[in-house]
């Protein structure tokens, strides 16, 4: 049985989110000239963020495409020429060869989708990231004896590793507000270009999610560095 596209997209995003955090840790070790010791806790947190946030994003992209289709059917140049010349034989031949119509990019719909994705979509994604990461970091506050990165795997399998009763939601909301504009503005340097490529050149929702996830590796490195502060 085929894996549903939304599940496949979530798995791809989860793998790439974990990869981006590992790369961020390697980059930090290189920049500080220190030994790389993998901390599996933030890797887990970024994977879980992808698992939680990818399905709504997938449905958002699907909603945009259903509401504002990227392509519409338009007569081909040959079909227009044949019709203008009243050439019935040529029109019949083009019909047999499926050359009467072709998909054509809907520029208006593409602009509307781009604007919606980079305003409403970007704002919701920024808030979702800040709220989720801020809350799971608080829920996974480590005791001193398990705080070192080398003990992160042991902490992950310990009882009560994730405890949301520890979360101070007022602090999480306050941090999300403080982080909103810096993250939103930083995202404008990457995501409009990604959305443009997706809406203009990539036709399937699955393909768009893959492109977004690949771009998300770069973004994930940046966000991992932000979250580690």
**What are the residue boundaries of the structural domains of the chain, listed by start?**
5-70+106-227, 73-105
- The pLDDT value recorded for residue 68 is 94
What is the separation of C-alpha 4 from the centre of its chain, rounded to a whole number of angstroms?
A: 18
Q: What's residue 145's pLDDT? A: 84
The set of residues, in sequence order, having a beta carbon less than 8 Å from that of 13 and lying 6+ positions away, is 50, 51, 54, 209, 213, 216
Count of CB atoms situated within 10 Å of the CB of 126:
20
pLDDT in tens, the chain (229 residues): 778 989 998 999 999 999 999 999 999 999 899 999 999 999 999 999 999 999 999 999 999 999 999 887 777 676 666 666 666 666 566 666 666 667 788 999 999 999 999 999 999 999 999 999 999 999 999 988 888 888 999 999 998 999 999 999 999 999 999 999 999 999 999 999 998 998 888 888 778 888 888 898 888 898 888 777 6
Pick the closest to residue 209 from 18, 2, 33, 60 (CA basis).
60
């Amino acid at each position: 049985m085929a894996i549903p596209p939304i599940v496949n997209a979530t798995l791809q995003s989860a793998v790439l989110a974990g990869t981006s955090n590992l790369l961020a840790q390697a980059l930090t070790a290189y920049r500080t000239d220190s030994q790389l010791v993998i901390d599996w806790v933030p890797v887990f947190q970024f994977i879980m963020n992808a698992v939680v946030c990818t399905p709504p994003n997938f449905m958002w992209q699907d909603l945009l495409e259903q509401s504002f289709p990227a392509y519409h059917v338009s007569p081909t140049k040959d079909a227009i020429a044949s019709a203008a010349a009243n050439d019935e034989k040529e029109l019949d031949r083009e019909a047999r060869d499926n050359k009467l119509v072709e998909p054509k990019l809907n520029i208006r719909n593409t602009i509307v989708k781009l604007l919606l994705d980079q305003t409403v979509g970007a704002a919701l994604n920024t808030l979702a990231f800040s709220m989720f990461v801020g809350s799971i970091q608080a829920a996974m506050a480590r005791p001193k004896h398990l705080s070192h990165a080398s003990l992160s795997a042991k902490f992950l399998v310990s009882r009560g590793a994730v405890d949301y009763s520890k979360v101070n939601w007022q602090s999480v909301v306050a941090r999300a507000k403080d982080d909103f504009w810096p993250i939103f503005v930083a995202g404008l340097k990457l995501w409009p270009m990604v959305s443009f490529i997706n809406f203009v050149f990539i036709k399937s929702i699955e393909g768009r999610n893959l492109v977004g996830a690949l771009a998300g590796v770069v973004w994930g490195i940046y966000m991992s560095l932000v979250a580690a502060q």
